[in-house]
Amino acid sequence: MQTERRIAKCAVLAALVLLGGACTKIDAVRSDGKQTQEAVMAAASAAEVSTTAETTTTTVTTTVTTTTAAGICQPFIDENANIDPSKPMVALTFDDGPGQYTNSILDTLEAYQAHASFFVVGQNINDETSAVMQRAVGLGCEIGSHTENHADLVKADANTFQQEIQQADDRILQAIGRYPYFLRPPYGDFNDDVRRHVGKPLAFWSVDTKDWKTRNTASTVSATLNNIEDGDVVLMHDIYGETAAAVAQIVPSLVQQGYQLVTLSELTYYRGVEMENGMIVFNMHPANPNYKLPPDPDVPEPQVTPAPETETTTETVAAAGQ
């Protein structure tokens, strides 16, 4: 049932994308089969009516009939990986790439048939790093969004917010042929407004290696192996050589301990949690998973008299460097 609901959601999303929509619009579509069918039929009817606009008609028809559109916004799950839901699993995640050390990390993952999730910054994607991303996906890894320019979404105005998400989505789609399913907000900074409008589940973590701060291989290894437990989400960064060296020790050690190294999508899926736009996942501990449901929908803002500018202060607490 979960798979059918995801496919139905993404099929409607594909029609919206080519009609000027984006992945952020998926939360406007309910997941029951009846409404999905009605939405697709409505798009098809619109294509028939638009006989005078040849280009538009062709685009809509392609969207409705394509056999690959339903997969462009699905979770990153390798169904051939023989993941056992009853056995321990953890998700290694990497931010801020793709970078010069990403391939080294992929070498280690490939050697142990392990998966990981990479939250990429859109501006880092080019022909060379696109090839690295394609290799990652080919190995069963996940590509998530870390925005276009590593922007603090809480502080962004409406236009910047939209551009940071959409531009990164477009670059990722061009690089690997599918949209990112999760977004990790830069600096770990978020609020309910971000959650309502981001159009994706949000990826957080339960083990912070602080590799961005220490730049020390031994410290990163210790922070991971001394704190790991079933269902954890580990935060690292694939732009540091010290981290790549740490991964070369972390991965074989975790495998030897019996952990399955999975994508974040696989972790939530095999722990029986269906993610929704605006949800936050911290970990999937078997006995006490830590995730948050989406916030309440938008409500009208109360009419208040703004305080004088000199008396207005704003303070945002963020996890620097994430």
Q: Quick one: pLDDT at residue 13?
A: 44
Residues near 136 by beta carbon (within 8 Å), at least 6 away in sequence: 102, 106, 116, 118, 142, 143
Q: What is the pLDDT of residues 154-180, one digit of tens each?
A: 999 999 999 999 999 999 999 999 999
The upper half-sphere exposure of residue 154, i.e. CA atoms within 13 Å in the direction of its Cβ, equals 15
Residue 141 has pLDDT above 80, yes or no: yes
For residues 116 and 94, give the distance between their C-alpha atoms in angstroms, rounded to a whole number.
8
pTM attached to this predicted model: 0.74
Give me the amino acid identity at 144. G
- Between residues 69 and 195, which one has the greater pLDDT? 195
Query: What three-state secondary structure class fits 302?
Result: coil
Q: Residue 272 CB: number of other CB atoms within 10 A?
A: 10
Place of tokens 């685009």: 59
Give the SS3 label for residue 253.
helix
- Looking at the chain, the whole-number percentage of residues with pLDDT higher than 70 is 70
Burial (CB < 10 A; 0-12, 13-18, 19+), residue 167, is middle
Residue 264 and residue 243: Cα distance in Å, rounded?
19
List the beta bridge partners of residue 263. none
Given the residues 115, 146, 150, 237, select the one marked as catalytic. Answer: 237
Looking at residue 71, what is its pLDDT? 54
Query: Can you tell me the mean pLDDT for 267-273?
Result: 97
User: By three-state DSSP, how is residue 261 classified?
Assistant: strand
Q: Which residues, other chains included, contact 107 with Cβ-Cβ below 8 Å and sequence gap of 6+?
A: none
Q: Is 95 a catalytic residue?
A: yes
When pLDDT is cut at 50, 70 and 90, the band that residue 38 belongs to is very low
The sign of the CA dihedral 267, 271, 274, 278 is negative
Report the distance separating Cα 220 and Cα 305, nearest Å. Answer: 49
3-state secondary structure of 191: coil
Please report which helix (H) or strand (E) contains residue 167, including its range: helix 158-176
pLDDT in tens, 202-252: 999 999 999 999 999 999 999 999 999 999 999 999 999 999 999 999 999
**Mean pLDDT score of the chain, rounded to an integer?**
80
Look at residues 257, 291, 206, 222 and name the one whose alpha carbon lies nearest to residue 88: 257
- Tell me the C-alpha distance between 98 and 239, whole Å: 7
Q: In 3-state terms, the chain is what percent helix, strand and coil (to 5)? A: 45, 10, 45
Q: Which pLDDT does position 73 carry in this prediction?
A: 75
Nearest-10 crossing angle of helices 127-138, 102-111? 20
Class of residue 164 by CB neighbours under 10 A (exposed 0-12, middle 13-18, buried 19+): buried
Q: How many CB atoms lie within 10 A of CB 159?
A: 8
Give the tens place of pLDDT for each residue, 39-57: 333 443 443 333 333 333 3
- Band (pLDDT 50/70/90 cuts) for residue 296 is confident
pLDDT at 298: 67
- When pLDDT is cut at 50, 70 and 90, the band that residue 3 belongs to is very low
Q: Of residues 27, 78, 95, 189, which has the active-site annotation?
A: 95
Q: Give the N- to C-terminal CA distance of the chain in Å, as an integer.
A: 35
Q: How many CB atoms lie within 10 A of CB 14?
A: 25
